[in-house]
């Protein structure tokens, strides 16, 4: 469980990428504290995020860099990058506009497991934009 002391207590940023070269990154609204989404970064995506101030991820399904907002316009302005004790997970504190999840909600976490159930969900939020409009192809 515990990582070496210099990793946990030190002030050198040494992000630990997994066997696929990725690190988990949580995007959290810097204002409200709402967790918006969880994605992954490779070394290049992390470097671009730190350099540009806009969140850049690595899409596992597409196996390429994913500049958040490049299609939808819903960019994430990164205010702060936090790292956890064993440096294998990041939080990006971000400033965002309305509508971060591609399904149409502000956050990807719009459903909760029903109390007393193990297999039923209940909606906890309403949609804030129409993804069909945001992602429509330019003619």
The 100-139 site mask, x for binding a copy of itself (CB under 8 A), equals -xxx-x--xxxxxx---xxxxxxxx---------------
Nearest CA-CA partner of 68 in 101, 42, 34, 115: 101
Q: Which of residues 39-78 bind a copy of itself (CB under 8 A)?
A: 47, 50-51, 59, 61-62, 66
- Can you tell me which of 81, 97, 128, 134 binds a copy of itself, judged by CB under 8 A? 81
Q: Are 69 and 54 in contact (CB under 8 A)?
A: yes
Neighbours of 74 (CB within 10 A): 19
Neighbours of 15 (CB within 10 A): 15
Q: Are 18 and 86 in contact (CB under 8 A)?
A: no
Distances (CA, A) of 120 to 16, 35, 38, 57: 35, 22, 22, 31
- Can you tell me which of 65, 83, 128, 134 binds a copy of itself, judged by CB under 8 A? 83
**What pairs with residue 48 in β-bridges?**
none
Q: Least CB distance from residue 84 to a copy of itself, whole Å? A: 4
- Can you tell me which of 52, 82, 130, 136 binds a copy of itself, judged by CB under 8 A? 82
Q: According to the binding rule CB under 8 A, does residue 95 interact with a copy of itself?
A: no
Interface positions with a copy of itself (CB under 8 A): 1-2, 8-14, 24, 26, 28, 32-35, 37-38, 47, 50-51, 59, 61-62, 66, 80-85, 89, 91, 101-103, 105, 108-113, 117-124
């Amino acid at each position: 469980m515990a990582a070496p002391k210099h990793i946990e207590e030190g002030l050198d940023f040494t992000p630990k990428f997994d066997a696929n070269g990725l690190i988990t990154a949580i995007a959290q609204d810097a204002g409200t504290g709402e967790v918006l989404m969880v994605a992954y970064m490779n070394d290049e995506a992390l470097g671009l995020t730190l350099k540009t101030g806009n969140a850049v991820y690595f899409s596992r399904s597409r196996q390429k860099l994913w500049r958040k907002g490049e299609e939808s316009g819903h960019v994430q302005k990164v205010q702060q990058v936090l790292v956890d004790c064993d440096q294998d997970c990041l939080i990006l504190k971000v400033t965002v506009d309305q509508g971060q999840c591609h399904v149409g909600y502000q956050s990807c976490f719009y459903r909760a497991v029903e109390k007393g159930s193990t297999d039923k969900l209940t909606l906890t939020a309403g949609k804030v934009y129409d993804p069909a409009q945001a992602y429509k192809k330019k003619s």
